A and B are shown apart, each in its own frame.
Chain A
Amino acid sequence: MNEFVFFLNYVVVAGSVTGSIYAIGAVGVTLVFSIMRFAHFAHADMMTFGAFTVLLLTTAFPGAGAALGLPTAVVMLPLAMLLTAALAVGIDKAFYKPLRAHGVKPIVMVIASLGVTLMLQGLIRLFAGTSGQSLYVDDRKEIFRLALPFEGARAPIVITEPQVILFVLTLVCVVGLHLFLSRSRLGKAMRAMSDNPDLARASGINTNLIVAVTWVIVGGLAAIAGTLLSLDVTFKPDLSFFLLLPIFAAAIVGGVGHPFGAIAGGFVVGFAETLAVFNWSVLLRPFRDSLPEWLASADNLAFVGTEYKIVVPFVLLVAILVWRPTGIFKGKVI
């Protein structure tokens, strides 16, 4: 029974946490792709930027959260979302729009976004350094221990406050995005532009406006994803390339251009990572007596070591590209 609780803690909870973060990240990537048709490599550093803004604001006003009963970092999140959205719109104006106006190939946009990612990385690390920092500046991370009402379950399910916030925010994002895309005029216009940009223009849709709206959403989502990641562990300024691969994998697994596919893809990648590094020998412990010797004596039965975690999204990516390049939800342009 305790083994089951262990499994819940280390796979179900941990997988959902990673999955949520990848999901929100992948939605951003997929939105940029569906509107502007290029893989946006600077997304991971936009996430870092969002988290860094939260860190700065939290350091500046450490007591703000206590008044609302939330961690200060969460209270500062909306402001950081606005700032990151502004950054995203600004980056587009300065670097992507001129290239779009020139009608360059999508791959040139990809390279430009790599240039942008280096600039963001350089700037953030110039000011933040490269070491990890906690977003809990003045307040304490609360930990909830839920005892299970079962016989023999001594270990509780452990879930931290930021994880609860993360689940709530992910849900809010998913529902909010769904309502925006299916109900609002701008959301429908975004879908229209994703379907057929020429026809969108011919219908009188102001495509520049749609592009700007997309960047606002993408920036906001990036700030959420980056902050949640940093809340769960710590703020690390040098994650970008390690985040990019799982996020792209999630977007492609879900079908590029499909916001809800990206969410599903995020959870697929998150759980795959967690399951792959999970030490299965713990679950075998109760059956130790009935197992062959070599299996029972193995004390580490993980598929891959944590140092090779990045292999998991890559394998998923290659597998989906080989077998079903359109992703599970049939994405578009390949």
Chain B
Amino acid sequence: MSTQYKQREDLVAAPSRFPLREVALFGALLVAIFGVYALMGAAYSTRMLVEAACYAILALGLTIQWGYAGQFNAGVMGFVALGGYCAMAFSMPVNADFWASPLSGELGMVVLMALGGVLVVVGASRLHHLGVPRRLRTGLAVALALLFYLLVSARLGVVTEQIESQFGYIGGLGLPPWAGWIVGGALAGVVGYFIGKVCLGLRSDYLAIATLGIAEIIKAVLKNADWLTRGTATVSPLPWPVPGPETVGFTLARAFYLSVTAVMIAVIFFLLTRAYHAPWGRMIRAIRDNEISSAAMGKDINRRRLEIFVLGCILMGIGGATLGSFNGIFDPQGYLPLNHTFLVLVMVILGGPGNNLGTIFGALTVYLIWVMSEPLALSVLELMVAFGEGSFGWDAPTNLDSRALQARVFVIGLLITLVLRFAPKGLLPEKVKHHG
């Protein structure tokens, strides 16, 4: 019975009908945004919109991984941080003192050594073509890798320590920010490629574990490699690709930035929608929905999966870079699983996994609620404390801010479980067309 009903619902959702649901939801969102403008002022609200737009790019990255292909990436934060780092590293001015010092040459030597080591190890891992027994080859490659790792890391430690004490960090490349955005996307894609290569042939649980791990590792590196990122000392201000607030004022500068992100979203949306309806997109969905039969049809499943995963990671890198530049500060400790992984997850599953429009809607809506809930959570807690002091004579906890943050952690968790149970297809479900 239920399946018949579902089929009929899908027929109604055929593309030709009037998109009532979409119009209603986006209309309500628009009203809410106007409300925020009226309440909080233009500068604040435009900032919120730019951030929401950056999150929409992240959410589009996740929706193609999770919605199109059923791959769950639990480490969005890592790719966001990589993008943010690239935005910083490319756009910050060149540290001329460092490049003029002999240390830059030494750092170059270390890099060359590392490259040489990689070449030697890769060479060793191919020795079986020359008739070396496989066991011996593996042992040799591992031993060489360890040896080079120790040599390089010892040298690197010495050099970077001197860099940190003399120059702080190596500085940026002085290029326009968008160069960093592109490289950020590419770097995230490369990391995604290796993770995907290892995990995508296995059950999706392994991908979740590995992405969670790589995110923490990327954060640990960015936090501790002071010579690259100044670590906890943070880098600011990051240049913008549009005129900054100091020349045209906050609202206008943010509006410029917003138009850049809006164009990016439009382009990404257009390309993704094309891809979704192209044979490639159909193949991806066929693999997601019925792996065995599509494998039987002779489709190279793991390759398609890798493509989609890498594509998602690239989008996350670009989105992270855009967000990083906009924030104006690179602070590795500011990357939190809650803000940069789970918030994006909520946007996608609430908006509609696999539906690009739904994902954008989810990103904007959830971010709006997220930002607005911050003062709300705090005032609720203050109310509770005041109540507790008045009625039971409690001592007020000193760190209300951090407690309010924890309350939001709880709410996000609850939201994830509730949506999975009661609205697993999101507010704007993916339109599944039935062929034949």
Contact = CB atoms under 8 A, between A and B. Distances in A.
Check whether chain A touches chain B (CB < 8 angstroms): yes
Interface of A: 38-39, 41, 95, 98-99, 102, 104-108, 110-112, 114-123, 125-126, 129-130, 241-242, 244-245, 248, 252, 298, 300-301, 303-305, 307-308, 310-311, 313-314, 317-318, 321-322, 325, 333-334
Contact of A110 (B72, B157, B221, B402): B72
A83 to B, nearest CB: 19
Interface residues of B, number: 51
B424 A104 contact: yes
22 contacts: A38-B205, A39-B205, A110-B205, A112-B416, A112-B421, A115-B416, A116-B413, A118-B338, A118-B409, A121-B406, A122-B410, A122-B411, A123-B406, A123-B410, A125-B409, A301-B154, A303-B153, A307-B224, A310-B216, A314-B217, A318-B198, A321-B206
B206 to A, nearest CB: 6
Contacts of A108: 420, 424
Interface stretch (B52-60, B98-106, B207-215, B241-249): B207-215
A330 to B, nearest CB: 15
Interface of B: 70, 72, 74, 149-150, 153-154, 157, 198-199, 202-206, 208-210, 212-214, 216-217, 220-221, 223-224, 337-338, 342, 345, 349, 397, 399, 402-403, 406-417, 420-421, 424
A300 to B, nearest CB: 7
Given A118-B412, A122-B410, A321-B206, A245 B212 contact: yes
Given A39-B209, A115-B414, A308-B221, A241 B216 contact: yes
A116 B406 contact: no
Nearest to B150: A303
Contacts of B72: 107, 110-111
- Listed from nearest, the 8 A-B pairs whose CB atoms lie closest are A118-B413, A122-B410, A115-B416, A122-B409, A119-B413, A39-B205, A115-B417, A125-B406
Nearest to B412: A118
A107 B199 contact: no
B416 A126 contact: no
Given A98-B421, A317-B210, A126 B220 contact: no
A107 B208 contact: yes
A323 to B, nearest CB: 9
B220 A310 contact: yes
A313 B213 contact: yes
Given A116-B413, A122-B406, A242-B216, 7 more contacts: A112-B417, A114-B345, A119-B409, A244-B209, A245-B216, A303-B150, A314-B214
A123 B405 CA distance: 11
Nearest to B413: A118
A305 B205 CA distance: 29
Contacts of A119: 409-410, 413-414, 417
B134 to A, nearest CB: 12
B414 A107 contact: no
Interface secondary structure of A, over-half rule: helix
A122 B413 contact: yes
Contacts, number: 152
B413 A107 contact: no
A93 to B, nearest CB: 13
Contacts of B154: 298, 301
Contacts of A99: 420-421
A130 B397 CA distance: 13
Contacts of A248: 209
Of A126, A130, A303, chain B has the most CB atoms within 10 Å of the CB of A126
B420 A115 contact: yes
Given A122-B406, A317-B213, A308 B70 contact: no
A107 B410 CA distance: 21
A119 B342 CA distance: 12
Contacts of B70: 105, 107
A122 B408 contact: yes
A196 B420 CA distance: 27
B44 to A, nearest CB: 27
A99 B422 CA distance: 10
Contacts of A313: 213
A41 B208 contact: yes
Contacts of A125: 402-403, 406, 409
Given A106-B205, A115-B413, A322 B408 contact: no
A108 B417 CA distance: 10
A241 B217 contact: no
Nearest to A305: B224
A314 B421 contact: no
A106 B414 CA distance: 19
B121 to A, nearest CB: 14
Given A122-B408, A125-B406, A310 B413 contact: no
B209 to A, nearest CB: 5
A110 B199 contact: no
